[in-house]
Structure 1
Amino acid sequence: MEWSITFRSRHSRLYIRPQLSRLGVKCWRHSMSQWKQIQQLEIKYLEQVDYLYDDNFPMDIRQVLSNWIESQDWDTAANHESMATVLLNNLLSQLDRQCSQEQNFLQRHNLKIINQQLQLKYKASPLLMASVISTCLREERRIISTASIQEQGPLEKSLQNSVTFERQKTMDNRVAVIRSSVLMMDQEVKYLEDMQDDFDFRYKTLQSRDPADRNTDKTKQEVTRLQEMLNNLDFKRKENLSKMSDVIKEIDAFMVSQLNPELMEWKRRQQINCIGGPMLTGLDQLQNWFSLTAQSLFQMKRQLDKLGELILKVTYESDPIPLQKPQMEEQVKYLIYHLIKSSFVVEKQPCMPTHPQKPLIIKTGVQFTTKVRLLVKLPEVDYQLKVKTIFDKDLPPGRVNRQFFILTANTKVMDVEESSNGCLSVEFRHLQLKEKKYVNGTKVNEGPLSVTEELHSLSFEAQFNMLGINIDLETCSFPLVVISNVSQLPGGWASVMWYNLLTDEPKNLAFFANPPRASWGQLSEVLSWQFSTFAGRGLNREQLHMLGEKLLGQQASHNEAQVSWSKFSKENIPRKPFSFWMWLDSILELIKKHLLPIWNDNCIMGFVSKETERSLLKDKEPGTFLLRFSESHLGGITFTWVEQSDNGEATFISVEPYTKARLSALPFADIIRDYKVFANGEAPENPLKFLYPDIPKNEAFGRHYNSQQSKVFPYIPSILIPISTLHANPPPCSSPEPPMSPGMFDMLTQHLSPLEMETAMSSPYSE
Structure 2
Amino acid sequence: MAMWIQAQQLQGEALHQMQALYGQHFPIEVRHYLAQWIESQLWDSLELDNPAEEAKAKRLLESLVSELQKKAQLQGGEDGFLLKIKLGHYATQLKSTYDRCPLELVRCIKHILQSEQRLVQEATNASDGGQAMDSLSQRHQQINQAFEELRVSTQDTESELRKLQHSQEYFIIQYQENLRIQAQLSSLSSLPPAERSQRETSLQSKRATVEAWLTREATTLQKHRLDLSEQHQKTLSVLRKQQTLILDEELIQWKRRQQLAGNGGPHEGGLDVLQSWCEKLADLIWQNRQQIRRCEHLTQQLPLPGPMEELLSKLNADITDIISALVTSTFIIEKQPPQVLKTQIKFAATVRLLVGGKLNVHMNPPQVKAVIVSEQQAKALLKNESTHSESSGEILNNNCVMEYHQATGTLSAHFRNMSLKRIKRSDRRGAESVTEEKFTVLFESQFSVGGNELVFHVKTLSLPVVVIVHGSQDNNATATVLWDNAFAEPGRVPFVVPDKVLWPQLCDALDMKYKAEMHSGRGLSEDNLVFLAQKAFSSGSNNPEDYRSMTISWAQFNRESLPGRNFTFWQWFDGVVELMKKHLKPHWNDGAILGFVNKQQAQDLLLSKPNGTFLLRFSDSEIGGITIAWVSQPHRERLVWNLLPYTTKDFSIRSLADRISDLNHLLFLYPDRPKDEVFAKYYTPPLSKAVDGYVKPQIKQVVPEFATQNPEPSGAASTFMDQTSSPSFSHPSSCVYPSMTDTMLDPDGDFDLEDTMDVARHVEELLRRPMANQWSSQQS
Question: Structure 1 length as normaliser, TM-score?
Answer: 0.71
Match of 2:462? 477
Alpha-carbon distance in 2 for matches of 1:566, 1:511: 16
Aligned-partner Cα distance in 1 for 2:580–2:660: 16
Gap regions ≥5 residues in structure 2? 7-30, 71-86, 115-132, 186-198, 381-389, 708-713, 750-780
- Deviation of 1:253 after TM superposition, in Å, equals 3.0
CA distance in 1, matches of 2:590, 2:60: 26
Distance 1:194 1:746 in 2: 100
In 2, the alpha carbon distance for the partners of 1:490 and 1:613 equals 28
Question: What is the Cα deviation at residue 505 of structure 1?
Answer: 5.7
Counterpart residue type for residue 657 of structure 1: P
Which residue type is aligned with residue 372 of structure 1? V
Match of 2:752 in 1: none
Equivalent residue, structure 2, for 1:493: 478
What is the aligned partner in structure 1 of residue 447 from structure 2? 464
Counterpart among 162, 177, 182 of residue 190 in structure 1: 162
| 2-structure distance, mates of 1:426, 1:747 | 56
Instruction: Please point out which of 143, 152, 160 is paired with 1:180.
Output: 152
Q: Write out per-residue CA displacement over residues 364-397 of structure 1, whole angstroms, 9 at most, x where no aligned residue.
A: 1112222222122424435422222222177459
| Aligned equivalent of 1:273, options 261, 264, 267 | 261
Does 1:599 pair with 2:578? no
1:63-74 residue pairs with structure 2 within 5 A? Answer: none
1:632 — aligned with what? Answer: 621
Residue aligning to 2:434: 451
Query: For residue 651 of structure 2, what is the aligned residue in structure 1?
Result: 663
**Aligned partners of 2:5, 2:513: CA distance in 1, in Å?**
30
What is the 5 A alignment of 1:498-517? Answer: 498-504=483-489, 508=493, 511=496, 516-517=499-500
User: Do the aligned partners of 1:591 and 1:599 also contact (CA within 8 Å) in 2?
Assistant: yes
Coordinate RMSD, CA, aligned: 4.7
Alignment of 1:316-715 (within 5 A): 316-318=304-306, 320-351=307-338, 360-377=339-356, 378-381=358-361, 382-392=363-373, 395=376, 404-418=392-406, 421-435=408-422, 448=430, 449-467=432-450, 468-504=453-489, 508=493, 511=496, 516-537=499-520, 538-552=523-537, 553=539, 554=541, 557=545, 558-643=547-632, 651-675=639-663, 686-713=664-691, 714-715=693-694
C-alpha contact 2:346 2:418 (8 A) present in aligned 1? yes
Distance 1:422 1:702 in 2: 52
Alpha-carbon distance between aligned partners in 1 of 2:586 and 2:107, rounded to the nearest angstrom:
24
| Offset of residue 451 of structure 1 | 0.8
Comparing both structures, which one devotes a greater share of its residues to strand?
1
**Aligned 1:137-156 pairs, distance under 5 A:** none
Contact 1:719–1:758, Cα closer than 8 Å, also in 2 = no
**Aligned partner of 1:754: which letter?**
H
Distance 1:376 1:610, change over 3 A: same
Shift of 1:339: 2.0
Is the alpha carbon distance of 1:361 and 1:241 closer, same or farther for their aligned partners in structure 2, counting shifts above 3 Å? same
Relative to 1, partners in 2 of residues 1:373 and 1:162: Cα closer, same or farther, differing over 3 Å?
farther
SS of the residue aligned with 1:700?
helix
Question: 1:150-177 deviations in whole A, cap 9, x for unaligned?
Answer: xxxxxxxxxxx99722112212221332
* Contact map agreement 2:444 2:457 (CA 8 A) in 1: yes
Specify the SS of the correspondent of 1:350: coil
Task: Give yes or no for contact 1:718–1:757 (8 Å, CA) kept in 2.
Answer: no
Counterparts in 2 of 1:665 and 1:475: CA distance versus 1, 3 Å = same
Tell me the distance in 2 between the aligned counterparts of 1:743 and 1:275. 47
Distance in 2 (CA, whole Å) between partners of 1:690 and 1:757 is 30
Identity of aligned residues (%): 28
Distance (whole Å) between structure 2 residues aligned to residue 333 and residue 567 of structure 1: 50
Assess, with a 3 A threshold, how the Cα gap between structure 1 residues 127 and 511 changes in structure 2: closer, same or farther: farther
- 1:396–1:316 distance in 2 versus 1, CA, 3 Å: closer
Please state whether the residue corresponding to 1:194 is helix, strand or coil: helix
Aligned equivalents of 2:279, 2:365: Cα separation in 1: 18
CA displacement 1:258-317 (0-9 Å, x = unmatched): 532332222222221222112212322222222222222221221111112212332333
Partner Cα distance (2:110, 2:573) in 1: 29
Equivalent residue, structure 1, for 2:79? none
Residue 127 and residue 690 in structure 1: after superposition, are their counterparts in 2 closer, same or farther (change >3 A)?
farther
The range that moved more, 330-339 or 220-229, is 220-229
Displacement over 6 Å in runs of 4+: 8-12, 58-65, 90-97, 116-123, 126-133, 444-447, 740-743, 746-752, 758-762
* Whole-angstrom CA distance in 1 between matches of 2:471 and 2:333: 26
**Contact 2:700–2:720 (Cα < 8 Å) also in 1:** no
SS at structure 1 position matched to 2:699: strand
1:82 aligns with one of 39, 52, 55: 52
Could you list the per-position Cα deviations for residues 73-108 of structure 1 after superposition, in whole angstroms to 9, with x for gaps in the alignment?
969x788643674598599989999xx9xxxxxxxx
Report the CA distance shift for 1:204/1:710 in structure 2 as closer, same or farther (over 3 A). Answer: same
The change in CA–CA distance for 1:185 and 1:519 in structure 2 (over 3 A counts) is: same
Secondary structure in structure 2 of the residue aligned to 1:658: coil
Q: Greater shift after overlay, 203-212 or 421-430?
A: 203-212
Give the helix-richer structure, 1 or 2.
Answer: 2
Letter in 1 for 2:286: F
Change (3 A) 1:324 1:551: same
Q: Which residue of 2 aligns with 1:232?
A: 220
User: What do the CA deviations read for 1:319-375 (whole angstroms, capped 9, x no partner)?
Assistant: x53242111111112222222222222222212xxxxxxxx1111111222222212
Tell whether the 8 Å contact from 1:390 to 1:460 is kept in structure 2 after alignment.
Answer: yes
CA separation of 1:561/1:391 partners in 2, compared to 1, >3 Å: closer, same or farther?
same
Contact 2:702 2:722 in 1 (8 A): no
Q: How many residues are paired up? A: 632
Aligned-partner SS, 2:308: helix
CA gap 1:717/1:433 in 2 versus in 1, 3 angstroms: closer
Distance in 2 between residues matched to 1:333 and 1:758, nearest whole Å: 88
Are the aligned partners of 1:624 and 1:692 in contact in 2 as well (CA < 8 Å)? yes
> Structure 1 residues 707 and 273 mapped into 2: Cα distance closer, same or farther (>3 Å)?
same
Structure 1 residues 199-208 or 630-639, which shifts more?
A: 199-208
Q: 1:92 to 1:571 in 2, by over 3 A?
A: farther
Please say if residues 383 and 424 of structure 1, whose CA atoms lie closer than 8 Å, have aligned partners that are also in contact: no
The 8 Å contact of residues 488 and 496 in structure 2, kept in 1 or not, is answered as: no
Contact 1:636 1:659 in 2 (8 A): yes
How far apart are the structure 1 equivalents of 2:54 and 2:676?
A: 35
Q: Which residue does 2:293 correspond to in 1?
A: 305
Q: 1:253 corresponds to which residue?
A: 241
Moved more, 580-589 or 216-225: 216-225
Does structure 2 retain, via aligned residues, the 8 Å contact 1:294–1:339? yes
Deviation for aligned residue 1:689:
2.1
Deviation (angstroms), 1:228 = 3.8
Corresponding letter in the other structure for 2:672: D
Q: 1:652 to 1:569 in 2, by over 3 A?
A: same
Local SS of the residue matching 2:698:
strand
* Equivalent in the alignment of 2:697: 718
Structure 1 CA distance for aligned equivalents of residues 49 and 104 of structure 2: 10
CA shift at 1:417, angstroms? 3.3
How far the C-alpha of 1:710 sits from its partner, in A, is 4.2
> Cα–Cα, structure 1 residues 289 and 128, in superposed 2: closer, same or farther, change >3 Å?
same
Aligned with 1:606: secondary structure? coil
